Amino acid sequence: MSAGGTLRLVLGDQLSHTLPSLRGLDPACDVVLMAEVMGEATYVPHHPQKIAFLFSAMRHFAGELRARGVVVDYVALEDEGNIGSLDGELRRAIEKHQPAQVELTFPGEWRVWKQMRDWQRTLPIPVEVREDDRFFCSISRFRAHAKGRRQMRMEFFYREMRRDHGVLLTQAGEPEGGQWNFDAENRKRLPKGLLPPPPFTVEPDAITTEVLALVARRFGQHFGSLEGFGYAVTAADATRALDHFIRHGLADFGDYQDAMAMGQDTLFHSILSPYLNAGLLDPRAAVAAAEKAYRQGKAPLNAVEGFIRQILGWREYVRGIYWLNMPEYANGNALSAHRPLPAFYWTGETDLNCLAQVIGQTRRTAYAHHIQRLMVTGNFALLLGVEPAQIEEWYLAVYLDAYEWVELPNVHGMVMFADGGYLASKPYAASGKYIHRMSDYCSRCRYDVKQTEGPDACPFNYLYWNFIAENAGALRGNPRMAMMYKGLDRMSAEKRAAVQRDAARFMAGLVAGYPAG
Ligand SMILES: Cc1cc2nc3c(=O)[nH]c(=O)nc-3n(C[C@H](O)[C@H](O)[C@H](O)COP(=O)(O)OP(=O)(O)OC[C@H]3O[C@@H](n4cnc5c(N)ncnc54)[C@H](O)[C@@H]3O)c2cc1C
Ligand code: SF4
């Protein structure tokens, strides 16, 4: 690079060739900066597969840029002089390349946005931050949607998105099938004998193999295994993962979206979130591919609408909520929950089979599907009354797809109800009955899901009633909780005392903390 060009920073979740800060790049005088820094790899103890995925995807992306003649200043983790922070590496690159300006793309996390604003103030050259337009909904469009609403509801936002982007509409502009949402059809248990497709995997190439060794050496002590790493690390392979899902998973996605089964980690889910969130796959491509499958008669409407709602609805909605409300959003604790996160979240060593299954799977794969996150690990933390920040850190650390813009609203709002009902109309609190209905976990559990009290009773059952009683002050007035409070009021005083006693005994037996080693 000759001095006087533009320095263009590409972050680990900005691996898109269409990235705003790469537009207008002049290979003759511009430099792209990419850096593997300790600060980003350790601000929470990320799952080793997440670090390996991002470092390998970054290295592949840098290689693709170089193949197109772009000059890339790529700072690998163990390169001499690596300062270990984005700030340090950006300043070092400015010293080295003497650019006239810096171009950035709006980041995915508030803490990085704060840094970017500092750079605009403190760097000696102009710093432009371009809007990240790799989403369906801009932040200003979301702000317009939210204006004047005290409570947000995904469903109304989703309908607006369908109309804005002309997705799954008839020629008259009405929703395909005469209704916007087919969720009621999407709650089936996995029938015996129905085998989900194997997930799409990629054999690690030389770059990934080298990164896996680096991560094992430097981050091997973090929660999570590196064994069997098979995630795609290029856009080409992420597109193959989408094709695989459309061909083999989409048709049954709707029916079994909420099901959980031992030995079936992925069921009919797409496992596309890591690629969408890192920029390897465009959400528009995923939505278009699903709609095309519907129009060609290859997948039913309940499946296609359900899948599209997750991406065009939920994914965009949580991003809007995050940017509209940060940084205050993270501070709420509407249910005054202050208990510590049990240590078994970091080991999987628990005799509650549903939790052992989901945490064990998370350790093996850095993946769990939505209902496992919401109704098993999430529900349990809600019922226990875990301090929101502690469970938020866990989710941010352990999943391959976790970035704060998408993790925080899901955990803080949807799971913990810490925003007091701003994102979701009621807490997703549930007893063991829900897990029993949607999975086969209870058949192999030492606890009895049919019992509510006593040493063999399913802990979800007494914790559920304890949660309802403990939070009556905050939740009794919520019309959507009326049934639960009717149930509590019908309970005899003895039974109520018994469930509260069992809950207290159970909680007293829990060990907290991040296990050493
Ligand atoms: C407690 C909790 C924490 C979560 N943390 C994250 C996270 O850190 N990162 C993340 O991408 N998703 C998160 N989700 C949402 C969801 O669980 C994952 O997106 C999904 O499990 C990813 O697997 P998949 O690609 O197979 O999804 P599929 O079931 O195949 O769904 C398709 C796509 O829809 C999108 N999607 C679905 N539900 C949501 C949602 N609630 N919010 C945002 N996008 C959604 C994802 O991009 C996903 O790839 C969380 C959900 C909960 C309940
Ligand atoms: S019995 Fe309770 S603890 Fe055991 S698997 Fe079922 S829901 Fe989980």
For residue range 326-364, what is the model confidence (pLDDT) as tens digits?
Answer: 999 999 999 999 999 999 999 999 999 999 999 999 999
How large is the greatest C-alpha to C-alpha distance in the chain, in angstroms? 80
Sheet harboring 127-130: ordered strands across? 71-75, 31-35, 6-9, 101-105, 127-130
d(CA 188, ligand 2 centre) in Å: 19
In whole angstroms, what is the distance from residue 75 CA to residue 73 CA? 6
Number of CB atoms found within 10 A of residue 16's CB: 19
In whole angstroms, what is the distance from residue 420 CA to residue 332 CA? 8
| Residue ID of nearest Cα to ligand 2 atom 7 | 432
Atom of ligand 2 nearest to the CA of 447: 1
Extract the residue ranges of the chain whose pLDDT is less than 50.
517
> For residue 517, what pLDDT is reported?
44
In whole angstroms, what is the distance from residue 69 CA to residue 28 CA? 9
Number of CB atoms found within 10 A of residue 123's CB: 15
Instruction: Return the best residue to mutate from 109, 158, 308, 370 for the ligand 1 pocket (most ligand atoms within 8 A of CB).
Output: 370
d(CA 224, ligand 1 centre) in Å: 19
Instruction: Return the best residue to mutate from 310, 386, 407 for the ligand 1 pocket (most ligand atoms within 8 A of CB).
Output: 310
Binding pocket residue ranges, ligand 2, CB within 6 Å: 352-354, 432, 435-436, 441-442, 445, 447, 449, 458-460
What would the two tokens of residue 516 be?
């050493």
> For residue 4, what pLDDT is reported?
84
Provide the CA 290 distance to its chain's centre, in angstroms.
Answer: 21
Surface-to-core class of residue 101, CB atoms within 10 Å of its CB (0-12 exposed, 13-18 middle, 19+ buried): middle
In whole angstroms, what is the distance from residue 4 CA to residue 20 CA? 20
> For residue 186, what pLDDT is reported?
86
Atom of ligand 1 nearest to the CA of 369: 21
**Among the listed residues 332, 320, 234, 322, the one whose alpha carbon sits nearest the alpha carbon of residue 281:** 234
Type of residue numbered 25: L
Across the strands, what pairs with 35? 75
User: Ligand 1 pocket, 415 CB below 6 A?
Assistant: yes
DSSP string for 365-384: HS---HHIIIIIIIHHHHHH
| Residue ID of nearest Cα to ligand 1 atom 26 | 271
Atom of ligand 1 nearest to the CA of 399: 8
Helices (H) and strands (E) in the chain, counts: 23, 5
In whole angstroms, what is the distance from residue 13 CA to residue 396 CA? 14
Q: Where are the alpha helices (DSSP H) in 351-426?
A: 353-365, 370-371, 379-384, 388-398, 404-408
Scan for tokens 């029993």, then name that residue. Answer: 436
| Residue ID of nearest Cα to ligand 1 atom 29 | 269
In whole angstroms, what is the distance from residue 291 CA to residue 123 CA? 46
Number of CB atoms found within 10 A of residue 67's CB: 8
| Residue ID of nearest Cα to ligand 2 atom 2 | 458
Across the strands, what pairs with 6? 101
pLDDT in tens, 463-512: 999 999 999 999 999 999 999 999 999 999 999 999 999 999 999 999 88
> For residue 274, what pLDDT is reported?
98
| Residue ID of nearest Cα to ligand 1 atom 8 | 402
d(CA 135, ligand 1 centre) in Å: 15
| pTM of structure | 0.97
d(CA 493, ligand 2 centre) in Å: 25
Number of CB atoms found within 10 A of residue 337's CB: 22
In degrees rounded to 5, what are phi and psi of residue 176? -55, 140
Number of CB atoms found within 10 A of residue 116's CB: 19
Element (H, E) at 322: helix 316-325
Atom of ligand 1 nearest to the CA of 401: 9
Taking each helix axis as running N to C, give the angle between helix 459-470 and helix 493-508, from 0 to 180 degrees, rounded to the nearest 10.
110
User: Ligand 1 pocket, 271 CB below 6 A?
Assistant: yes
Atom of ligand 2 nearest to the CA of 355: 8
SS3 at position 72: strand
Q: Is the dihedral of CA 130, 322, 117, 57 positive or negative?
A: negative
Scan for tokens 């979301």, then name that residue. Answer: 142
